[in-house]
């Protein structure tokens, strides 16, 4: 079913296959020497595109991670004209779409066929909006360490990821796996990336999740190497209950994540991708309180990151 859909999707868009393309992934897709600040539109559900773009311009951001879904106004159901209008508005504001944040999640199970069908549509959206990648998840979401989840059939998962990468390669779009769930660590992802063995398969390093699994940032970066192409910035502290898998989120700079140190390691390694704030007010109750609104958090984040990047140039 998936293969038939993928072929139909390619034919309908009249795209040539570009297999065997030589894609470069040396630490991202931005430009060295410039500030590369972005934010995910997760907390912008219900906003108009004008509101999102104005927020980005006002506080000095250069890029947007567009969360895919009807509540965010960016979806695979958009017409060609609607997509062109979005791209035009973003580019006229001096911004760029970094990636499309899909909710696609692969587990190596039969349900992955349906996930891949949606993924193909998101890839088309990414191509139309000139986004470098499509974010996907792997594994099962859980909140506690004692929560039971199904075992992942590894060989099947690798096969599904390869299918996703091969389809995306026909459009020049990259597949960005986020450090999350069973694949939160560089250790787990290094093995997976080697087994998938696709040049357009890369990683979004979400700072908090490897730490939740006890992996140091230095180890994560060393293991991911040049396949670390995008950064999700956030901060937090562990819950007192050690069975809680997820940390409690805080404002950036007020938690236990060594953000400045991580940025320093990335810059020293030649990273040229974006530093994107992923502010999860839609999912996290601790962020759904006064003082945590995007109008307060976004400018504070931009100032915090500019301070770090400026200090590294001294």
The pLDDT score that the predictor gives to residue 276 is 98
Mean pLDDT of the chain: 88
- Which DSSP state fits 245? -
Q: pTM surpassing 0.75?
A: yes
Residue 136's pLDDT is 98
pLDDT at 37: 98
What is the rounded average pLDDT of the residues 151-178?
Answer: 97
Q: What is the pLDDT of residue 281?
A: 85
**pLDDT for residue 3 is more than 80:** no
**Which one has a higher pLDDT value, 56 or 4?**
56
DSSP-derived 3-state class of residue 24: coil
The pLDDT of residue 151 is 87
- pLDDT at residue 310 in the model: 93
Question: End-to-end distance of the chain based on CA atoms, in angstroms?
Answer: 56
Q: What is the pLDDT of residues 220-244, one digit of tens each?
A: 999 999 999 999 999 999 977 777 7
Tell me which of 81-95, 144-158, 181-195, 250-264 is least confident: 144-158
Q: What is the mean pLDDT of residues 268-295?
A: 92
Residue 248: name the closest of 306, 292, 218 by CA: 292
Calculate mean pLDDT across residues 40-46: 94
Percent of the chain at pLDDT above 70? 88
DSSP states of 251-266: -TTSSS--HHHHHHHH
Beta-carbon count within 10 A of 75 CB: 16
Segment 98-110 shows an average pLDDT of: 96
pLDDT of residue 289: 93
| pLDDT given for residue 97 in this prediction | 98
pLDDT over 90 for what percent of the chain? 77
The residue whose two tokens read 């660590």 is 185
Assign 200 a pLDDT band (cuts: 50, 70, 90): very high
Check whether 31 has a pLDDT greater than 70: no
Residues forming a β-bridge with 38: 63, 276
Residues sharing a CB contact under 8 Å with residue 206, sequence separation 6 or more, in sequence order: 178, 179, 180, 232, 234, 278
pLDDT tens digit string along 167-177? 999 999 999 99
Q: Give me the phi and psi of 178, to 5 degrees please.
A: -85, 140
pLDDT confidence band for 34 (50 / 70 / 90): low
The fold of the 2-8+36-312 domain, in CATH, is: TIM Barrel (3.20.20)
Tokens 């997509």 belong to 83
Instruction: Determine the average pLDDT of the residues in 145-151.
Output: 78
Q: Which of 20-29, 154-163, 186-195 has the lowest mean pLDDT?
A: 20-29
Section 95-109 average pLDDT: 96
Q: Which residues contact 74 (CB under 8 A, 6 or more apart)?
A: 41, 66, 67, 68, 86, 100, 125
Predicted pLDDT at 274: 98
Is a pLDDT exceeding 60 seen at residue 27? no
């Amino acid at each position: 079913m998936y293969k038939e859909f993928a072929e139909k999707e390619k034919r309908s868009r009249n795209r040539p296959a570009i297999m065997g393309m030589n894609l470069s992934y040396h630490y991202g897709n931005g430009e060295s020497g410039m500030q590369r600040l972005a934010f995910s539109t997760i907390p912008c559900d219900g906003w108009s595109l004008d509101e999102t773009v104005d927020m980005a311009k006002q506080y000095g951001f250069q890029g947007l991670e567009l969360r895919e879904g009807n509540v965010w106004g960016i979806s695979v159901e958009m017409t060609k004209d609607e997509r062109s209008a979005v791209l035009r508005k973003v580019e006229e504001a001096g911004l760029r779409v970094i990636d499309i944040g899909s909710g696609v999640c692969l587990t190596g199970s039969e349900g992955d066929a349906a996930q891949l069908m949606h993924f193909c549509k998101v890839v088309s959206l990414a191509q139309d909006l000139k986004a470098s990648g499509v974010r996907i998840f792997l594994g099962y979401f859980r909140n506690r360490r004692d929560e039971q989840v199904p075992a992942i059939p590894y060989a099947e998962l690798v096969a599904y990821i390869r299918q996703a990468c091969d389809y995306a390669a026909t459009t020049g779009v990259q597949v960005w796996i986020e450090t999350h769930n069973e694949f939160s660590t560089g250790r787990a992802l290094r093995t997976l990336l080697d087994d998938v063995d696709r040049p357009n398969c890369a990683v979004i390093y979400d700072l908090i999740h490897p730490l939740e699994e006890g992996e140091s940032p230095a180890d994560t970066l060393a293991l991911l190497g040049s396949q670390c192409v995008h950064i999700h910035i956030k901060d937090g502290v562990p819950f007192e209950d050690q069975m809680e898998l997820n940390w409690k989120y805080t404002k950036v700079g007020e938690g236990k994540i060594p953000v400045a140190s991580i940025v320093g390691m990335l810059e020293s390694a030649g990273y040229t991708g974006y530093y994107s704030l992923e502010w999860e007010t839609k999912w996290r109750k601790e962020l759904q309180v006064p003082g945590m609104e995007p109008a307060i958090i976004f400018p504070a984040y931009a100032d915090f990151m500019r301070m770090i990047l400026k200090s590294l140039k001294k």
